[in-house]
Structure 1
Amino acid sequence: MKNLLKTVSLLFILIVTISCSKNDDTTDLIDTRSFITDSNVDYFINRNGTVNIIVTGEYTDSPNLGDVANRGFVYGTTSNPVVNSNNTETALGSNPVNATFRNLTAGQTIYIRGFFEMSDGTYFYGNEVQTSTTIDASSTRSISMTIKPDLFFQNNDGITPELEVTAIEKESPIEIGFEYSINSDFSNSSVTLDPDMTGNIFLTTYSEFITGLTLNTLYHFRPYAKYADGTTTNGGTSTATFTTN
């Protein structure tokens, strides 16, 4: 009888031990990974009409499930996009991370979510956010420009003024240049564009050699920019005057 009780006790201990071991293994494999993409995406409309979408997110790894080989964001025009060769951007920075999808076609619904690519080739996907590349930036875009007080170049044929773009938000103009007139109120003004500008307008200095001016005459200059919808702006109140030789 004692041997029977001893045997039963040993079996009970063995069963409990195996059960606890299984529970411990299960605990080790709990998936604590997360990748939360912020639904408040940002955008920038390019000069050619395409749209850049800027996303941010925060992630949590789960070391018990292996190493992360790659971490990023994936987008698609249908829900639940999966990674392929041309629809991902690497997540940059430390938490929160960010990425920019560039040159997306206007007029589309876009679905975005964060992902982990694991070292074993499997993928983990986070929550999905939805946005659109149908954007009217007329009430949010802005650009600040300053005419430099000194000419870059001057001779008997003309002058080369410079303007500096000091800030730009939400949309790139399609044209940039100089508006000038002999009148301080810029009545009867003319516009000369920078013909070398082929891409987006950025924070940099633009210049152009302007000819056909009347000699020994005071001219008033200010910046000029035009958006795709036809709206024009001088990007602030900056003006300068130059006298031709």
Structure 2
Amino acid sequence: QGARGGSRGGGSRGGSGYRGGTNRGSTCQGSNCHKAGIIVGSVIGGILGLIAIIFLIIFCCRRYRGRPSESNASFITKSSTNERNKTYQTYEENYFKNGDWMSRYYQYGQWHGPHLMSITFDHATGRVTGHGYDDVGKFTIDGTFSEENQRIALTKIYALGTGDAKENFGHAVTVQLIWNTIHGQFEGKWFVQTNNYRGEDKFELKFGGSSESFLEKRVD
């Protein structure tokens, strides 16, 4: 009897107190509640949208890193945007000379090279071919150039099984260069996209068969 009576009485009083507490504690009523819901939903939606945009940017950067913004064929047809570095050639000036060239590239926070490569320019067809050896391995060169725009676009293809086995996957490297009159050399960037690595950075090419061609190890 005491247990049952206590249970009924306690339950009744407890329920009444709970209902009263709910009414007194609620501040979300009518249009105010609706507006609050809209604000909270907008904030949450904005945060989720921002996160999605960040992930999309990261994905695009990783996907397109190591890929030039334009093809080699398109690159050489453009005039230099830096007129200060552009020199209008005469018959006495020939920046596209057959023979030994020195190259170096910037990767992993430091310059690699100079490396010797033999290059041949076919002025009738605008094609450039060659071969060489660098830190990665032995490679061949095939590409195109424009005497008018003073540009070179190369594809370096490494011979698998030569050089550094950790770096050489028999992959291709795109190199796009513009003549720099001040430094007396071609300058630009290299681009690599493989299943194992994606990257891009500075590349320099200077005529002459001596490492003294690069007098200064610039990192700018």
Question: TM > 0.5 between the two?
Answer: no
| Higher normalized helix content (fraction of residues) | 2
| Higher normalized strand content (fraction of residues) | 1
**Bigger relative CO (Cα 8 Å, ≥ 6 apart):** 2
State the TM-score, normalizing by the size of structure 1. Answer: 0.21
State the TM-score, normalizing by the size of structure 2. Answer: 0.22
Higher CA-based Rg:
2
